[in-house]
Structure formats: structure tokens, C-alpha cells
């Protein structure tokens, strides 16, 4: 008695279905956050502290939500962010997300730790669909160099270096469920021995280099022409450093609440950072993205009003894929598109360029 797809009216509905139908270990891996999951919960609730200041009597007969992200046109200001281990949720894994994204002309970020091979995910691409690569930097830089160069050859246009995970966070739900069920399908292409008692995440992450630092950024710039974005920036000082380092963008993110617990939400970092960046005239020097807790198009609109170029969405697409496969991902994207159109009309913004800072009230964020 699973609800039919047309009974899913918003992104959160997919989560409820996924929780019911997914294998316990898979649900634990996807849904868990670090430690007490305070950041995980706040990622979502932070949006509720921001209110709209809609404009009236603007001609919104036609709404255009297309935009440009890192130099490429895209139909909507969100992308499918990188989430590891797609096959835990669906036997075909990440290619399901590729096909869903293709249908809506949405950009997909391919995770280093995908369950499908990188080439399978590239091969599933249709036409001039855009893909980016999420990179976990290997202790062996030669392996990293090969991954980066191969991604560039295969047409990826941007490299998102994950900078919030020198060590994987403790996701206790994941650890507990792994403790109860050792027989999961976690893969490890690096040949490292896995300690399954640590949960899926930790079992596959031992190759990540904790010595990665600002000093390494010039090297990345020297090995690739792809745009370079730092994923997991959590304070304005580091956005300024990223500008100085000459990277093309940052994602203000706490890794979906899976790393440092009580780290701030992307939307609140954005709200605090933007005035400082504007003061220093840096707001146009770098593209700013956020992710974490985005479940409604109103969340996207708030981020754009506050100066984000676009937003990443993770779990909702995993849940839609796990519960309904490709039709689920397709519907999730369509729902977001419909919500987006409605929100833009109701706020009085016919195009993305019309979304302005004065259309949101962030006083409750500042007090928080």
C-alpha cells in the first residue's frame, strides 16, 4: 500500500515513502547526520526563520527560471548534488539521477564515491547535458590527478573539491545499523580494508587526505581547465580566502549535517557573509552556492534573494529514486519546477535577476 506517485505532492512526501520502503541500512546511511543531528535538523528549519517581502502588481504572466551556473545555461537554479552510494537506494544507482536530470535540463554533480563507475554515469548522459565532478582528494595525488584529468576529458565542466571532510563525521544511526547488518553492498574501489562496524560512510573513506590545505589549490588549478569550486565552506573568512586563491566558486554547506555537528546552515552562512562580501566588493568575484535542507522552491528563492547563484539538493532526489526510481526523480523535479514558478509569481519576480535582497526579511536570522 505504497502511495502512488501522484499522491506525492512535495519533496518531503518522498522522504516518508522512502523511510517505509528502503532497506534499513540504506535508510540509515542516507538519512543520518553527525552526532546529535542538530545541524541536520537546523539545515531545514533555518529557512523557516526567513520571511518574504513580496512585491505586488508586477507583470508575472511569463516566468523564466533559467539561469547560468559556472558558465553554463541551465533550466532551473538548482543542481543534483553529489551523494555517495546510489545503489544502496536503487539497483541502477546514480544513472537514475543522470536520466532524471537530463529530462529537466538540470546539472548533476557526480560523486567520487558513486556506486556506478564514473564512465557509466558519463555514458548515461544525453545530448549536451552538463555534469560536474565532486572530488574527495586522495592521499595519493597521482590517483587524484588521473581522476581529475579523466573527468575533464569526459566533458565535466567543473570540479567541486570537498573541503569539509578531512575525516568523515560520526553518523551513529549509520554505525548502529551497520553493526546489526554486516551484509550490505558497500563497495570500495580503493582496495583498502573496510571496518564495517564503523558504518558505511567510514568504511569507504579511509583514502581521503586530511592534510589537504590552501597550499594545494594552485596545484589543482595547474592540472585542469575545469572551473574549481570549494564545497563545504562554512565562514565568510574562508569565502574571502577562496576569492584570493582564485577559485571560481564556493558551496556554503555543512555536508547535509553529516560532518561537524552544530556547524551553521548554508543559508545562514550566506545571510551573514553577503553584507561583508559586498562591503569588500567581492560579491561578483566568485559564484556562491549553498546546499543543505532545501526541500521547497521557496527555500531556493530565499537563497537566490540573498545572493546565491544556485543551490544543491541531495537527499530528496535519493529518496525519490529509492521509492519510485526514475519516475520518482522526474516527478520530484517537476514538483520543484511548479513550486518555483508559483513562488516567483507570488513574490513578484518574473526572472531570476528580479530576485533581490529586499524581498526577504532576515531579522529573525540575525537574532537567532
Q: Residues at the annotated binding site?
A: 29, 82-84, 134, 136, 162, 171, 231, 253, 255, 258, 291-295, 314-315
Distance CA 237, CA 353 (A): 27
Buried b (16+ CB within 10 A) or exposed e, 310-319: bbbbbbbbbb
Task: Find the shortest distance in angstroms from Cβ 317 to ligand FNR.
Answer: 8
Question: Scanning the structure block, which residue is given the C-alpha cell 572551473?
Answer: 227
Point out the catalytic residue in the list 44, 90, 255, 368.
255
Q: Where are any strands of DSSP class E within 148-195?
A: 158-162
Question: In the complex with ligand FNR, which residue's Cβ is closer, 303 or 349?
Answer: 303
- Binding-site residues for glyoxylate: 29, 136, 171, 255, 258
Can you say how many angstroms the Cα of residue 151 is from the centroid of all Cα atoms in its chain?
A: 19
Question: In the complex with ligand FNR, which residue's Cβ is closer, 74 or 349?
Answer: 74
Question: In the complex with ligand FNR, which residue's Cβ is closer, 268 or 354?
Answer: 268
- Residue 120's Cβ-count burial label (10 Å; 0-12, 13-18, 19+) is middle
Cell, residue 223: 592540472
Question: In the complex with ligand FNR, which residue's Cβ is closer, 314 or 348?
Answer: 314
* Interacting residues toward ligand FNR by CB under 6 A: 29-30, 43, 81-84, 111, 113, 134, 162, 231, 253, 255-256, 258, 291-294, 312-315
- Binding-site residues for FMN: 82-84, 134, 162, 231, 253, 291-295, 314-315
Active site residue 255: yes
Task: Find the shortest distance in angstroms from Cβ 12 to ligand FNR.
Answer: 11
Beta-strand pair 360-361/51-52: antiparallel
Question: In the complex with ligand FNR, which residue's Cβ is closer, 87 or 345?
Answer: 87
- Residue 255's CB is within 10 A of a number of other CB atoms, namely 27
Question: Scanning the structure block, which residue is given the C-alpha cell 574549481?
Answer: 228
Minimal CB distance to ligand FNR: which residue? 314
Query: Radius of gyration of the chain from Cα atoms?
Result: 19
Max distance between CA atoms of the chain, in angstroms, equals: 63
Task: Find the shortest distance in angstroms from Cβ 43 to ligand FNR.
Answer: 6
Q: Where are any strands of DSSP class E within 262-352?
A: 287-291, 310-313
Which residues have a catalytic role annotated?
A: 255
Amino acid at each position: 500500500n505504497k502511495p502512488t506517485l501522484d499522491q506525492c505532492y512535495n519533496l518531503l512526501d518522498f522522504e516518508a515513502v522512502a523511510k517505509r520502503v528502503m532497506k534499513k541500512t540504506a535508510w540509515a546511511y542516507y538519512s543520518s547526520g553527525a552526532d546529535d543531528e542538530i545541524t541536520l535538523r537546523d539545515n531545514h528549519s533555518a529557512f523557516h526563520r526567513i520571511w518574504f517581502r513580496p512585491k505586488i502588481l508586477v507583470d508575472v504572466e511569463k516566468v523564466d527560471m533559467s539561469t547560468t551556473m559556472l558558465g553554463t545555461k541551465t533550466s532551473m537554479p538548482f543542481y543534483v548534488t553529489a551523494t555517495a552510494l546510489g545503489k544502496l537506494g536503487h539497483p541502477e544507482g546514480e544513472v537514475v539521477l543522470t536520466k532524471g536530470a537530463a529530462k529537466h535540463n538540470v546539472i548533476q554533480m557526480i560523486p567520487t564515491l558513486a556506486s556506478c563507475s564514473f564512465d557509466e554515469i558519463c555514458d548515461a548522459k544525453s545530448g549536451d547535458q552538463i555534469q560536474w565532478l565532486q572530488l574527495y582528494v586522495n592521499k595519493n595525488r597521482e590517483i587524484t590527478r588521473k581522476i581529475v584529468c579523466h573527468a575533464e576529458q569526459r566533458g565535466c565542466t567543473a570540479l567541486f573539491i570537498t573541503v569539509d571532510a578531512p575525516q568523515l563525521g560520526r553518523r551513529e544511526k549509520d554505525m548502529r545499523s551497520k553493526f546489526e547488518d554486516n551484509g550490505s553492498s558497500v563497495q570500495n574501489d580503493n582496495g583498502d580494508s573496510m571496518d564495517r562496524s564503523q558504518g558505511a560512510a567510514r568504511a569507504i573513506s579511509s583514502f581521503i587526505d586530511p592534510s589537504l590545505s590552501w597550499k594545494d589549490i594552485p596545484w589543482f588549478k595547474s592540472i585542469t581547465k575545469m572551473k574549481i569550486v570549494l564545497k563545504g565552506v562554512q565562514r565568510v573568512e574562508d569565502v574571502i580566502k577562496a576569492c584570493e586563491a582564485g577559485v571560481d566558486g564556493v558551496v556554503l554547506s555543512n555536508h547535509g549535517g553529516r560532518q561537524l555537528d552544530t556547524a551553521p546552515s548554508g543559508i545562514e552562512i550566506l545571510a551573514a557573509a553577503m553584507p561583508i562580501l559586498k562591503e569588500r566588493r567581492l560579491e561578483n568575484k566568485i559564484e556562491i552556492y549553498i546546499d543543505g535542507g532545501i526541500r521547497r522552491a521557496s527555500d531556493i528563492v530565499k537563497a537566490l534573494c540573498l545572493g546565491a547563484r544556485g543551490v544543491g539538493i541531495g537527499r530528496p532526489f535519493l529518496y525519490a529514486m529509492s521509492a519510485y526510481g526514475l519516475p520518482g526523480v522526474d516527478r520530484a523535479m517537476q514538483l520543484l519546477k511548479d513550486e518555483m514558478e508559483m513562488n516567483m509569481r507570488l513574490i513578484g519576480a518574473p526572472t531570476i535577476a528580479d530576485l533581490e535582497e529586499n524581498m526577504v526579511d532576515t531579522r529573525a536570522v540575525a537574532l537567532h
